[in-house]
Structure 1
Amino acid sequence: MPKRKKKQHHEDHVDESWLIPYADLLTLLLALFIVLFAMSSVDAAKFQLISKAFNDVFTGGTGVLDYPSPVPEGQKENLDRKNDADNNNQQKDKGGLGKEDQKELSQIQQKVNAYIQEKNLTGRLATKLTDEGLLVTISDKVLFNSGTADIRPEDQKLASEISGLLVMNPPRSVVISGHTDNMPISTSQFDSNWDLSVMRAVNFMKILLENPKLKPQWFSAKGYGEFKPVASNSTEEGRAKNRRVEILIMPNENNQ
């Protein structure tokens, strides 16, 4: 009988030579991404983090990206300053003070606090750093008699001294606001607490502007009546806290 020929089994091998140029293409794309990122970003710290991450994945933590800084030494200081300014502006966009504003306003606050201690005005004057700026609160009993908007003659010297604390370099915008409690008022001079609060702010501002070192264009006056209380009007103590004049020293426009 004729011998049967054994069938020969040939395994088909897939040509994988395409993997080499494909890998090269991925490497080039990765390099291009890193270069574009480096050109578009000034945040050196973020660049280093991303560079390290790519090195860890593709080279086990070592490679050409493993440098102490991607920024030439001569430019690093300028980038640091720009990053600080960007962070300052981002903080303001969120409704808060930037680092530079906080530093400068804190220095002004220290000067005002030193004056308060020197003149034994604790409890009658107070300072607070807020998101809007440095707030100086003055109790109404320091400046006014009940139901009036005229600064008492014996307190005009105090107002003049406060004006000296507002002489700043560079100058800043200052907002003077008047506040009252919710006890109704109706006199021949004032129809409401709103009228009273406005005139108290204006009259106090006029005393401040007698200082020749202060310019009117830096100042504005507002009256809120009883509509921005800081305490409950249900007690005499709370109403006393609500009767006040506030000085808001705004952030420096050059820091914005």
Structure 2
Amino acid sequence: MARKQYSHHEEHIDETWLIPYSDMLTLLLALFIVLYASSQIDQKKFEQLAQSFSYAFRGNTSIFESVRTVPYAVDGPSQMPVLPKTPAVVSGMAGANEQAYMIETVQLVELKKQLDRYIAENNLAGDIQTALTDDGLMIRIKDTALFASGRAELKPESLRLGTEIARMIAPLPQRVIVAGHTDNMPINTPEFPSNWDLSTVRALNFMKYMLSQAEIKPERISVSGYGEYRPVASNDTEEGRAKNRRVEVLIMRSYLPDGIKR
């Protein structure tokens, strides 16, 4: 007696819509974060962010999709070179980096807000300035807030400032550059034969103090001394020379506006 054959077909719900849906939610979340912080971003930077969002919404590659490698062909005894990445893969890489740039911008904006709040609460507006630039977040400190004239030892009253800056930048992954600058008035002492020596030692001392106050990875931070050769104002007046005597702390972006990783 022949048995009846029964086939059981399980119907599976198509869940492929979850990937673009999750992408859309992620982009919307980033959009609202950037819009919230946009009051602290200059118009040029905000337009770049808007272009990045427009690009991301037009793309077809999921931000959760792993970047694939393109195989190469072997023809006879010689091996063919690796083929260029397809437009879809390149688009996915660029989109992911642009999103990383936007997230990094939000991080730097939040750090700028913290610094500006500290500056306002401690009446330091005349000594410290912050600016978000294409290179990153710049913290500019007048030399009189840190050092006595012609000296490179940190003044006791400046230590709290160094501690606060160190604690604020410690959680971030970006590289940090501490740079010293002077005016064009020559210095020639046994300790500092030139303005280059003075500017470099000042930056080095400030960097060492920050490293002692927070868990900043030493490989993240570096020092430069520019002497009088990168002025921000004219050295023809005392006011201009005072602006040029400074220490700058740059929290450098890891990603450029076009999504390229440094």
Give the TM-score band, short-chain normalised: 0.5 to 0.7
Q: Secondary structure at the match of 1:117?
A: helix
Q: Secondary structure at the match of 1:209?
A: helix
Provide the residue aligned with 1:153 in structure 2.
156
The runs of 5 or more residues in structure 2 that have no matched partner are 1-15, 24-60, 65-90
Counterparts of 1:213-228 in structure 2 under 5 Å?
213-228=215-230
User: Does the CA-based 8 Å contact 1:136-1:248 persist in structure 2?
Assistant: yes
Provide the residue aligned with 2:252 in structure 1.
250
The runs of 5 or more residues in structure 1 that have no matched partner are 1-71, 92-96
User: Does the CA-based 8 Å contact 1:87-1:98 persist in structure 2?
Assistant: no
Q: Separation in 2 of the partners of 1:217 and 1:172?
A: 11
User: Does the CA-based 8 Å contact 1:138-1:244 persist in structure 2?
Assistant: yes
Provide the residue aligned with 2:68 in structure 1.
none
1:88 Cα offset (Å) = 6.8
Opposite residue 198 of structure 2, the aligned amino acid is: L
User: Does the CA-based 8 Å contact 2:166-2:214 persist in structure 1?
Assistant: no
C-alpha RMSD of the superposition: 2.4
Structure with greater contact order relative to length (CA < 8 Å, sep ≥ 6): 2
Deviations 1:65-91 (A, max 9, x none): xxxxxxx63442543647686257479
Q: Cα 1:80–1:239, aligned 2, differ >3 Å: closer, same or farther?
A: farther
Deviations 1:160-189 (A, max 9, x none): 222112222x43211100000111111111
Provide the residue aligned with 2:135 in structure 1.
132
Counterparts of 1:1-256 in structure 2 under 5 Å?
73-76=17-20, 77-78=22-23, 79=61, 81=63, 86-87=94-95, 89=97, 98-168=101-171, 170-252=172-254, 256=261
1:153 Cα offset (Å) = 2.0
Opposite residue 176 of structure 2, the aligned amino acid is: V
Q: Cα 1:241–1:80, aligned 2, differ >3 Å: closer, same or farther?
A: farther
Provide the residue aligned with 1:3 in structure 2.
none
Q: Separation in 1 of the partners of 2:229 and 2:214?
A: 33
Q: Separation in 2 of the partners of 1:249 and 1:88?
A: 22
The higher radius of gyration belongs to 1
Provide the residue aligned with 2:50 in structure 1.
none
Q: Secondary structure at the match of 1:230?
A: coil
Q: Cα 1:225–1:88, aligned 2, differ >3 Å: closer, same or farther?
A: farther
Deviations 1:41-71 (A, max 9, x none): xxxxxxxxxxxxxxxxxxxxxxxxxxxxxxx
Q: Separation in 2 of the partners of 1:84 and 1:146?
A: 53
Q: Separation in 2 of the partners of 1:84 and 1:112?
A: 35
Q: Cα 1:152–1:100, aligned 2, differ >3 Å: closer, same or farther?
A: same
Q: Secondary structure at the match of 1:220?
A: strand
Q: Separation in 2 of the partners of 1:137 and 1:112?
A: 11
Opposite residue 157 of structure 1, the aligned amino acid is: R
Q: Secondary structure at the match of 1:171?
A: coil
Q: Separation in 2 of the partners of 1:113 and 1:85?
A: 35
User: Does the CA-based 8 Å contact 2:63-2:95 persist in structure 1?
Assistant: no
Deviating above 6 A after TM superposition, structure 1's stretches of 4 or more consecutive aligned residues are: 82-85
Q: Secondary structure at the match of 2:202?
A: helix
Q: Cα 1:205–1:100, aligned 2, differ >3 Å: closer, same or farther?
A: same
Q: Separation in 2 of the partners of 1:234 and 1:165?
A: 36
Per the normalisation by structure 2, the TM-score is 0.62
